[in-house]
Amino acid sequence: MSTRIAFLKGHGTENDFVIVPDPENAIDLPPATVAALCDRRAGIGGDGLLHVVRSAAHPEARGMAAEAEWFMDYRNGDGSIAEMCGNGVRVFARYLQHAGQVTEGDLAVATRGGVKTVHIAKDGDITVGMGRARLPEGDVTVRVGERSWPAVNVNMGNPHAVAFVADLAHAGDLHEAPPFSPAAAYPDGVNVEFVADRGPRHVAMRVHERGAGETRSCGTGACAVAVAAARRDGADPAATGTPATYTVDVPGGRLTITERPDGEIEMTGPAVIVAAGEIDAEWLADAVRDRR
Ligand SMILES: N[C@@H](CCC[C@H](N)C(=O)O)C(=O)O
């Protein structure tokens, strides 16, 4: 590893990421390194890390290289790997624009959840084709203190449990992952969304993310919430033949989600690069050692 590693910091509706450009996949990023970089006190701080690699240079993405030049090697803040990150893809695209690799318009980004189509608009917002949701069967109950709610299972490439609540404050402080039953429902962990109504086709949510804790936004979570809300509201696009658009307020801003009758979901929202700098390799080596 070289002595100085370039990084940037960005966010999408305040879901924030350390961005590590590494086109040739030369930087080793084991979980302890990612966790040290994402540490909010002793590191740079972030809900997750976006490792920016050319698809052709990454074993998990080589098969997508013909369709998408760049691979979003996404990691959660605790160093774990996730299949997909909706806010991350927008910030990833914003980084490529910032770096002069792409301009406004369309691009394809390889992710562990497949190739995603991204549109960078003139007005600044970014739209991502998130693919289709899966709704695995099974009854799940999410609990916080004395309260419990049935949850809707929605898979957006990564797993989500969506609970409709009367008041977002009922989700409590979310310092811990909310327990659910049956305990074996999500063998690989789950992201839990709490959702309250704000108006017609307008909801607000809080989220406890797998591998990150409570965050200010979750793009795949907002899509899962829109999908669950459309089924609850009798507005399932596959059944009605009409697209369903939901406004989803998150603590860090607002996302717009549209599901089409063919099941394809689009998410639109902001993405911002806030800083760029260099990681001190000596600090990083010490920080990683301290974590062992
Ligand atoms: N914040 C992301 C989701 C990141 C992955 C998630 N924590 C998981 O482990 O599945 C988003 O914007 O989608």
Which CATH number belongs to the domain containing residue 262 in this structure? 3.10.310.10
**In this predicted complex, what is the ipTM?**
0.99
Residue type, 175: H
Structure tokens at 50: 């976006």
- Tally of domains in the chain: 2
Q: Is residue 285 part of a domain?
A: yes
Same domain, 230 and 162: yes
Tell whether 68 is covered by a domain.
Answer: yes
- 131 part of a folded domain: no
Q: Is the CB of 158 under 6 A from ligand 1?
A: yes
The SS3 assignment for 82 reads coil
Measure the CA–CA gap between 82 and 143, rounded to whole angstroms. 24
Using CA positions, which residue lies closest to atom 2 of ligand 1?
85
The predicted-structure confidence for 240-273, as pLDDT tens digits, reads as follows: 999 999 999 999 999 999 999 999 999 999 999 9
Give a yes or no: residue 13 inside a domain.
yes
In a domain, 134, yes or no: no
Residues 222 and 281 in one domain: no
Is residue 197 within 8 A of residue 228, CB to CB? The reply is no
Question: Which range among 13-22, 111-120, 163-172, 279-288 shows the weakest confidence by mean pLDDT?
Answer: 279-288
Residues 180 and 247 in one domain: yes
- Whether residue 195 is found in the same domain as residue 260: yes
Give the distance, in angstroms, between the CA of residue 243 and the centroid of all CA atoms in the same chain. Answer: 23
pTM of the model: 0.97
Query: Do 249 and 168 lie in a common domain?
Result: yes
* Ligand 1 mean position, distance from CA 13 (Å): 13
Give pLDDT tens digits for 32-82: 999 999 999 999 999 999 999 999 999 999 999 999 999 999 999 999 999
Residues 157 and 250 in one domain: yes
Domain that holds residue 209: 140-268
- Shared domain check, 168 and 60: no
Spacing, Cα 84 to ligand 1 middle (Å): 6
CB of 77 within 6 A of ligand 1: the answer is no
DSSP readout, 109-140? Answer: EEETTEEEEEEE-TTS-EEEEEE--B-----E
C-alpha 163/C-alpha 151 separation (Å) is 5
Domain co-membership, 15 together with 78: yes
Residue with CA at minimum distance from ligand 1 atom 3 = 85
Atom of ligand 1 nearest to the CA of 189: 9
The answer on 61 and 42 residing in a single domain is yes
**How far from chain centre, in Å, is Cα 273?**
16
Best mutation site among 205, 218, 268 for ligand 1 pocket (most ligand atoms within 8 Å of CB)? 218
Residue 133 lies in a domain: no
Query: 49 and 70 share a domain?
Result: yes
Ligand 1 pocket, residue 113 CB under 6 Å: no
Residue 147 belongs to some domain of the structure: yes
What's the pLDDT at 185? Answer: 93
Residue 24 and residue 101 in one domain: yes
Q: What percent of the chain has pLDDT over 70?
A: 99
Residue 130, in any domain of the structure: no
Q: Are 215 and 162 members of one domain?
A: yes
